[in-house]
Amino acid sequence: MDAVGGPDGGVGDPDDASALVSGSPLSVTASTEDTARATAVMPESGRVTDDRQDRPGPEEDVPTPIAPTSREQDSDDGTGERTSVGSTGAADDTGVSRETETPRSDPAGGSAVAAETARKAEVKDTGAPRLPTPPGAPFPRPEQTRVFTIANQKGGVGKTTTAVNLAAALAAGGSRVLVIDTDPQGNASTALGVDHRAGVASVYDVLVEDAPVAEVVHQCPDIPGLTCVPATIDLAGAEIELVSFVAREMRLRRAVDAYLADVDDPPDYILIDCPPSLGLLTINAFVAGHEVLIPIQCEYYALEGLSMLLRNIDMIRRHLNPELRLSTILLTMYDGRTRLSSQVADEVRNHFPNEVLRATVPRSVRVSEAPSHGQTVISYDPASTGALAYCRAAAELATRHSEATHGRNAE
């Protein structure tokens, strides 16, 4: 098939993406071996097991379990996985995060408590957490600002998580990054520690009130070089208010173009986080962007809407934004223990060999915990598998497609 983002900058034939669903081996039912294996663990029909017969009697000696040591051993096998002695899980080579450590109330988990205490002390002393150094840092600066629209109409695939953590990893690599949150939920603003209560200057003022972007930019408190245009709950009614506006699809693009032309030191990257829909806010984000980044969860449902998304990108490219192209696909929530994740990854790589990043983001508890602390995983736990995965993805993003960088900065 023709790869998306070919020489003509288009998105290819969207029908090819349908092959990911219709021709995918993922729809095959469970094998006979799996069925036999599942049957083998089932009790015989009519047999009632009584676990009391295996319990020791009152006079039997029960051996005292030996508590595991709290010593942690960090392994670096190129995958960023961490092996901890005394944890409830260990890292393997499957790309799965094994960070479910011994509960912190357990004495055996004292090292985890010590690590968390050290991290908090470092933040208190220096005013900012220690950031990792991504591979290849400092990243090469693009000749012109690269504007990415991070979109996927399916919810729960990691759009906001990818937007904020890629932005943080790029900033940790020395780039200047601006995140524009166009999701009324404001999750990206929360993860970056930016206030987005009702009444705060936000992207709503840019779209509806014609406020300059420079007036609504907020600095991320714990990552230098990372700024954010937050989204407030006011944005929930913006689509209705914009219906009567002339050229309503172009409002964000014009605001971004004006910002890049007026600012003395423009950012190297602008990442636009989209809501999980194909409404007017997402269309504004597509028209304002130069490149599209699609996070794809490594599950079957994530593939079903891909052909529809590609058709919308192609339509916007033909009618509203000729510069728009699909440049990057990132596989998220990868679980190497399952054949499903491997099959989805193989299918996507076969159909989009030039767009899929080599780096994949595994499932990680730390990635889920970080927003509750108002942080990205890059600053919350720099040594976690999720942080290392996003650092590798950021390094790859900063170096690939450099010869095809597009921008609309003023000369």
pLDDT digits (tens, 9 = 90+) for 183-211: 999 999 999 999 998 889 999 999 999 99
Q: Which residues pair with 362 in a beta bridge?
A: 334
Distance CA 163, CA 270 (A): 10
Give the N- to C-terminal CA distance of the chain in Å, as an integer.
38
Beta strands in 265-399 (DSSP E): 269-273, 291-297, 325-334, 356-362
How distant is the alpha carbon of residue 283 from its chain centre? 20
Lowest mean pLDDT among 52-66, 72-86, 143-157, 256-270: 72-86
Percent of the chain with pLDDT over 90: 50
Percent of the chain with pLDDT over 70: 66
Residue 118: its pLDDT value, please?
Answer: 52
Residue 96: its pLDDT value, please?
Answer: 47
**pLDDT tier at 57, thresholds 50, 70, 90:** very low
Q: Is the pLDDT of residue 384 over 50?
A: yes
Q: What mean pLDDT is reported for the chain?
A: 76
The Cα-based distances of 354 to 178, 299, 311, 328, 358 in angstroms read: 26, 21, 19, 8, 10
Residue 36: its pLDDT value, please?
Answer: 43
**pLDDT tier at 304, thresholds 50, 70, 90:** confident
Q: Is the pLDDT of residue 4 over 90?
A: no
The Cα-based distances of 100 to 106, 147, 245 in angstroms read: 13, 36, 51
- Residue 116 sits at φ, ψ, to 5 deg, of -65, -40
Residue 26 gets the label, from left (phi > 0), alpha (psi -120 to 50) or beta, of alpha
Span 32-54, mean pLDDT?
A: 42
The residue whose two tokens read 């509806």 is 208
Residue 132: its pLDDT value, please?
Answer: 83
Give pTM, 2 decimals: 0.70
Span 287-297, mean pLDDT?
A: 95
Closest Cα partner for 406 from 215, 269, 275, 252? 269
Pairing of strands 325-334, 146-150: unpaired
Q: Where are the domains of the chain?
A: 133-404
Identify the CATH number of the domain defined by range 133-404.
Answer: 3.40.50.300
| 224 vs 110, residue with greater confidence | 224
What tokens does 402 get?
């450099």
Q: Is 136 helix (H, G, I), strand (E, B) or coil?
A: coil
Distance CA 232, CA 183 (A): 8
Measured over the CA atoms of residue 387, residue 390, residue 395 and residue 398, the dihedral's sign is negative
Q: What is the pLDDT of residues 241-259, one digit of tens each?
A: 999 999 899 999 999 999 9
Q: Is the pLDDT of residue 64 over 50?
A: no
**pLDDT tier at 80, thresholds 50, 70, 90:** very low
Residue 327: its pLDDT value, please?
Answer: 94
Pairing of strands 218-219, 226-229: antiparallel
